[in-house]
Amino acid sequence: MQSSIISFDRFNALADQEAQQRILAAKAALGKRVVILGHHYQRADVFRHADLAGDSLKLSRLASQTDAEYIVFCGVHFMAEVADIMSKPEQISILPDLAAGCSMADMANLAKVERCWRELGEVLDPDQQVTPVTYINSAADLKAFCGDHGGIVCTSSNAPTILKWSFAQREKVLFFPDQHLGRWSGHKMDIPLDEMVVWDPDLEMGGLTAEQIRNAKILLWKGHCSVHQMFQPAHILKFRNQYPDGIVISHPECAFEVCRQSDYVGSTEYILNTVKAAPHNTRWLVGTELNLVERLADEVKHEGKVVQFMAPTVCMCSTMQRIDPQHLAWTLENLVAGRVVNRIEVPPHEAVLAKIALDRMLAVS
């Protein structure tokens, strides 16, 4: 069967316009057998073909409620994994380009997390004292680790609620892979900054002393989003000097000082909903991915709203950019021909444990 798959080489040189036409033709041929999911950070020439749009968890849940045979996720690898875990057994999850990963998710892997757990065991009894919490932006095997160790998954919108649940189970939290979301969420719970210490997985004992580990409420994994890392407090200061009445809204993956200097902090959905619901003729500085900001700016400009991207340099999710019209056309035309390419299939034992952690999150939030 593999030899009969239409080679991507035949699509790589397609002009964008031809790729767009072939996507539309393939979608029409497949009908309701396929549902295309478009994450908010997806490039515009692919996002236009999405049947459903949103953040990663929302999309996976919506896709599982359809009767589509094929879930084509225009996002990144961990998102397609979540879709596979949450979808019906007969549904097939597909990622148009397997190179579309997430640099943040890659900053924590199972071997390093298991080593961290063993090292914590030299100071604490982690299975009695630490709740592992993984951001949904992580690999399926880390979600499975949390499911297997009494832990849970969180999103950028429910992280404080999830932390509250986690502390009700055990006195400490190991939060990975994004230190910034963990720190901001802890701050929202009035946890002092000195009780949130950074665990560096490349150093013995995370670079911490036994006393620091014992005194910590949250152990923050040394990970971050390369896009949100670009935003700086100086960008906000410049905006406020130019536009005293302007409003700043940021994603909690931004650094702590950026969040602290923002008027609003929240998930992608929160950012979209807040700006869309705002009064006409307001001006916004938005600290999140460029494609989302440009799309939002276009949607609200008729209301006199001005939406600006926070960083002076272009920064978008480069790995998600790998999903282009050529890859989408190739994926869909193979499906029309009865062939599945780039299926994302989480091993059954991992899927069971990961779903435990995801179900805990859904029950709590």
Give one DSSP letter per residue of 205-258, joined into a string: GGG--HHHHHH-SEEEES---TTGGG--HHHHHHHHHH-TT-EEEE-TTS-HHH
pLDDT given at position 365: 86
Dist CA 86 CA 22 (whole Å): 30
140 and 183: one domain? yes
85 and 38: one domain? yes
203 and 252: one domain? no
Q: How many distinct structural domains can be found in the chain? A: 3
**Residue 358 lies inside a defined structural domain of this protein:** no
222 and 109: one domain? yes
**Residue 353 lies inside a defined structural domain of this protein:** no
pLDDT given at position 318: 66
**Residue 359 lies inside a defined structural domain of this protein:** no
* pLDDT of 314 over the 80 cut: no
pLDDT band at 55 (very low <50, low <70, confident <90, very high): confident
pTM of the model: 0.93
Average pLDDT for 337-359: 97
Q: Which of 226, 249, 274 is the last residue of a domain?
A: 226
Dist CA 129 CA 214 (whole Å): 10
186 and 115: one domain? yes
Helix axes 16-30, 325-336, angle to 10 degrees: 30
User: Of 44-53, 54-63, 355-364, which range is least confident?
Assistant: 54-63
Q: Which of 226, 253, 268 is the last residue of a domain?
A: 226
Q: Which of 226, 257, 284 is the last residue of a domain?
A: 226
Supply the CATH number for residue 272's domain.
3.40.50.10800
12 and 49: one domain? yes
222 and 236: one domain? no
143 and 221: one domain? yes
pLDDT tens string 254-296: 999 999 999 999 999 999 999 999 999 999 999 999 999 999 9
Supply the CATH number for residue 196's domain.
3.40.50
* pLDDT of 104 over the 90 cut: no
**Residue 352 lies inside a defined structural domain of this protein:** no
pLDDT tens string 154-208: 999 999 999 999 999 999 999 999 999 999 999 999 999 999 999 999 999 999 9
**Residue 125 lies inside a defined structural domain of this protein:** yes
Dist CA 289 CA 293 (whole Å): 6
140 and 210: one domain? yes
pLDDT band at 1 (very low <50, low <70, confident <90, very high): very low
Where in the sequence is the domain holding 277, given as residue range(s)?
A: 228-309
pLDDT given at position 3: 42
* Residue among 186, 271, 192 nearest 228 (CA): 271
* pLDDT of 4 over the 90 cut: no
> Which segment, 1-10, 306-315, 335-344, is predicted with the most confidence on average?
335-344
* pLDDT of 2 over the 70 cut: no
81 and 117: one domain? no
92 and 110: one domain? no
Average pLDDT for 81-97: 96
Dist CA 261 CA 246 (whole Å): 13
86 and 37: one domain? yes
